[in-house]
Structure formats: C-alpha cells, structure tokens
C-alpha cells in the first residue's frame, strides 16, 4: 500500500514523500494518530547520523515516537487485533541497530514488539508520547 511519510534525504534535506509499504506475516499495520520528533531525528537531519560510528543510508524515514490504531495484522500475529490502540516504542530485544523508525507517516508497519497497548480511555495524544518515558529505550 502507499503512504505519505517524512524522509530525510540527506543532511538538512527533508521532505514529505509517497512510499510503498508492505506488511510481512509477522507484522502489524497501524494508522498513525501522532508522531513526535526527538533528538535522534534532529541529529540525523543536521549531521547525517545519530551515533558517529554507525553509518546511515538515505533516505531515512522518521518516527519512533508515536502511535495509532491497528488496521491490519499479519497471519502470524495472535496477540493483537484490528482496532487496538498502540504506542510505538523501541523493541528492547537484542538486535542489529534499527533506527529511527517509520511512524511519521499516515500508516506504518512494525513488529508487535515495537508497540505497547494503550489503556482503555487514555487520550491518544498523551499515549503517543510513551516512547519518551520508555526506560528500555535508553
């Protein structure tokens, strides 16, 4: 499916682009409610990297702080259902460097380990700030 997304295409080069996203059987598709900018996004925009020893390749799609509503789930997903509200966070499992995300788009796909449930009745504007308070992402 196509979605609009914020892409950094080089140092101090950012624009709104249309890109194709595809959901794997072990992923979920989320309609974004809100996404924030963090220091990592600013560093990549200004310097082309967040950690000097880790090379970034452009374009870099922004958005690891945000959330939304699940609109589709992969065939291997059993712990989530469409309509669930989620906040996007960093997956705390050891893995190769994965950054910064793709939540600054109309829709994004991710692993179910990259989201946490939003409690019933919680304001989504507030819930989308969950990554800021995630002790596992530091």
Contacts of 32 (CB under 8 A, 6+ apart): 63, 66, 67, 68, 103, 104, 105, 106, 107, 108
Give the residue numbers spanning the domain of 29. Answer: 2-137
Can you name the residues that pair with 66 across neighbouring β-strands?
35, 88
CA distance 26 to 48: 30
Contact 65, 129 (CB under 8 A): yes
Along the 138 residues of the chain, how does pLDDT read in single tens digits?
A: 999 999 999 999 999 999 999 999 999 999 999 998 888 889 989 999 888 887 788 998 988 889 999 999 999 999 999 999 999 986 555 555 555 578 899 999 998 988 999 999 999 999 999 887 765 554
Q: What is the CATH number of the domain that holds 81?
A: 3.90.180.10
Domain count, the chain: 1
């Amino acid at each position: 499916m196509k979605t609009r997304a914020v892409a950094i295409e080089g140092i101090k080069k950012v624009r709104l682009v249309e890109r194709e996203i595809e959901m794997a059987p072990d992923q979920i598709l989320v309609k974004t409610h809100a996404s924030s900018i963090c220091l990592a996004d600013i560093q990549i925009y200004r310097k082309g990297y967040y950690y000097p020893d880790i090379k970034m390749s452009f374009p870099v799609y922004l958005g690891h702080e945000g959330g939304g509503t699940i609109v589709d789930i992969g065939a291997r997903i059993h712990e989530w259902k469409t309509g669930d509200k989620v906040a996007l966070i960093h997956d705390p499992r050891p893995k190769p460097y994965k950054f910064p995300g793709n939540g600054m788009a109309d829709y994004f796909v991710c692993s179910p380990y990259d989201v946490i449930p939003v409690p019933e009745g919680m304001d989504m504007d507030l819930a989308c700030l969950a990554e800021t308070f995630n002790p596992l992402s530091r």
